[in-house]
Amino acid sequence: MLIAQWFVFTLVLLVTVFTTIIGLKNQRGKFKFLCGDCRFNNENDCHKKERPHALICTSYREKT
């Protein structure tokens, strides 16, 4: 029974690490400045303190 619990724990840990790595690789912006091509790139819509040098932004929306 202890071996089964260890296996499940190891499997969950590996899946968590794998999904974290995939998430970091595919995150928006990929460590480039986002404001240049963000649809909210103006002083009236974007009030983030990181502006205009934001690398990560939850409000980022690509211009269409």
DSSP-assigned states of every residue in 49-63: TTTTS-S--TT--B-
- Identify the pLDDT of residue 28: 62
H, E, C per residue of 25-50 = HCCCCCCCCCHHHECCCCCCCCCCCC
What is the per-residue pLDDT across 8-36, written as a single tens digit (0 to 9) for each? 999 999 999 999 888 777 666 566 788 88
- Identify the pLDDT of residue 9: 96
What is the per-residue pLDDT across 38-59, written as a single tens digit (0 to 9) for each? 899 888 888 888 888 888 888 8
Tell me, yes or no, if the pTM score tops 0.75.
no
